[in-house]
Amino acid sequence: MSLRAFAAFAAAVIVAAACGGTSAEAPAGPSQAGVIDLDGGPIQTTPDGPSGLPCDVDAILTTHCRKCHARPPQYGAPMPLLGWDDLQAPTPSGGKKVHEMVLSKVANDDAPMPPAPNARLSEAEKKTLSDWSAAGAPRSAESCATTPPPPPPDPVTGLSCTPNKTLAPAAPYEMPESAGDQYVCWGVDVTADTPTHIVGFAPRIDNTTITHHVVMYEAPSSYPSTPQPCDASAAVTWRMVLGWAPGISGVELPPEAGFPIAPAGTHYVVQMHYSNPQRLKGEKDSTKIEVCTAPPRQHEADVLAFGSQSFTIPAAPPPGGVFTRECSITVPSFFAGIHLFAAMPHMHKIGHAMTTTLTRQGGAPIDLGTMTSYDFNAQRWLPIDAVTQSGDVIRTDCSWKNTTGAPVKFGEKTADEMCYSFTMYYPRIASTLWSWGLPAQTASCVSRP
């Protein structure tokens, strides 16, 4: 990704602040009203008149929550958070009101709301909510000058290219009313008559009510083009090329590099995560991925994976509850001179944290992608910038919190786990002995309880 695209990318991701939850705890109460209008109809993000909330509470919800907790809720959020009635509503699980659940979510260090990488509430903001909730969350007669959050960015924001090819499913997908949460995959083959590079990606989200996040993979073979339910994880042979969550716009490669379209075509799989906690009927989606193509650039880009392909996470939690796998490789001469420019840490549901660093003899570690609070539902590319030298040590640490009660091994199923730091780089390694997973396959690893 270019520095310009990454700057826009990093700024836009803040919008995802309240959209990471897929709890089925939709409230029973009503909501008040708001303002913006998208293709799917009016999306209300501010109260229509007094909210019944103290202005300091109202401001916190506007800043951190209402892009998704709108009316109707967007991107799989379970309820609106616009007015006093919304926060007084009971949750179906019983025993709590929504304002109490909000407090527990913002205080949860393992799965915080807003989710990483968005800034968490400050201690002062947490105290404001806590004091109001502890007082019984009383209705306020204050009239607040609330500024609505801006609408979501157009996905081509930040791109210097204009998308000229569309990747689309063969048909819309209708989510079953009873599904709640569902992963759906569809495939597309991209071909070109002449040598061509893909240089940018722009997701076009069709149904913002149920679309929670999107991941696109490059696959070694074709996948059916008709959307169908699939596992939440991915085949071990698939490589991530795009991750989208609410607020993230387009992804662009550096001007000197592009992904080549293979002579026989390049195979992609798009994985949609739908969330419908309100059990709405007739929700259909036709989300597409638009791409920019260009004549071949100076370098062919590719994706590799640091990490590990061999581990078992014990059933019994170690002291502190975290199990860590530390894996490192020493850069060989054939891997020297590689420019690493983006990283996407990838684990499954019990992933806790991941960090990858490059250390040169006598030098300080260079960050190659760190997520101190990993969220399976908010995977994304992180900007990095490093050129390898022979003898560099690249180390990836993956940490998990295993609360399943059973050992968890490496694998492609949702119940399995992974430890991959997918990394974009150029120039593409052309050796027949090279495999994108080779760094993870050959890493030296130790486990830390």
State the burial class of residue 256 (Cβ atoms within 10 Å of its Cβ: 0-12, 13-18, 19+). Answer: middle
The pLDDT profile of the chain, 449 residues, written as one tens digit per residue, is 343 333 333 333 333 333 444 443 433 332 333 333 344 457 787 777 789 999 999 999 988 888 788 888 877 778 889 999 999 999 867 778 999 999 988 988 777 787 665 678 999 999 999 999 999 999 999 988 766 666 656 666 668 899 999 999 999 999 999 888 899 999 999 999 999 999 998 888 899 889 988 889 899 999 999 999 998 777 778 888 887 777 666 788 999 999 999 888 999 999 998 988 888 899 999 999 999 999 999 999 999 999 999 999 999 877 778 999 999 999 999 999 999 999 989 898 899 999 999 999 889 999 999 998 888 777 778 899 999 999 999 999 999 999 889 999 998 776 899 999 999 999 999 888 888 899 999 999 999 87
444 and 307 in one domain? yes
292: closest CA among 159, 426, 152?
Answer: 159
Instruction: Tell me whether residue 153 is in a domain.
Output: no
Number of folded domains that form the chain: 3
Domain boundaries, position 309: 302-448
Quick one: pLDDT at residue 365?
A: 96
Query: In this structure, what CATH number is given to the domain that contains residue 203?
Result: 2.60.120.310
**pTM of the predicted model, to two decimals?**
0.69
* Number of residues assigned to the chain: 449
**Contact (Cβ atoms closer than 8 angstroms) between residue 18 and residue 116:** no
Which of 275, 298, 321 corresponds to the end of one domain? 298
pLDDT of residue 275: 87
Same domain, 38 and 118: yes
- CA 373 to mean position of chain CA atoms: 12
Six-digit token pair at 374? 């990993």
Tell me, yes or no, whether 216 lies in a domain: yes
Q: What is the pLDDT of residue 29?
A: 31
Amino acid 215: pLDDT:
86
Same domain membership, residue 341 and residue 360: yes
* pLDDT attached to residue 28: 33
In this structure, are 68 and 80 located in the same domain? yes
Residue 5 lies in a domain: no
pLDDT at 180: 81
Rounded Cα gap, residues 103 and 355, in angstroms: 29
Give domain status of residue 4, yes or no: no
In angstroms, rounded to a whole number, what is the distance separating the alpha carbons of residues 395 and 269? 29
Q: Which of 298, 328, 351 is the last residue of a domain?
A: 298
Structure token digits, residue 316: 């019994």
Asked if 170 contacts 186 with a C-beta cutoff of 8 angstroms, the reply is yes
Whether residue 108 sits in one domain with residue 78: yes
Asked, for residue 264, whether it belongs to a domain, the answer is yes
Q: Are both 330 and 266 inside the same structural domain?
A: no
Residues 260 and 184 in one domain: yes
Identify the domain boundary among 115, 134, 153: 134
pLDDT at position 247: 62
Alpha-carbon gap, residue 363 to 360, rounded angstroms: 5
**Both 425 and 293 in a single domain?**
no
Is 243 within a domain? yes
Are 261 and 369 part of one and the same domain?
no
Check whether residue 186 and residue 258 sit in a common domain: yes
- Residues 416, 429: one domain? yes
Tell me if 144 is assigned to some domain. no
Asked whether residue 92 is domain-assigned, the answer is yes
CATH number of the domain residue 388 falls in: 2.60.120.230
Burial of 195 (0-12, 13-18, 19+ CB in 10 A): exposed
For β-strands 351-359 and 366-371, DSSP reports them as antiparallel
Per-residue pLDDT, 157: 63
Q: Residue 426: which of 301, 333, 305, 298 has the closest Cα?
A: 301
Same domain, yes or no: 401 and 265: no
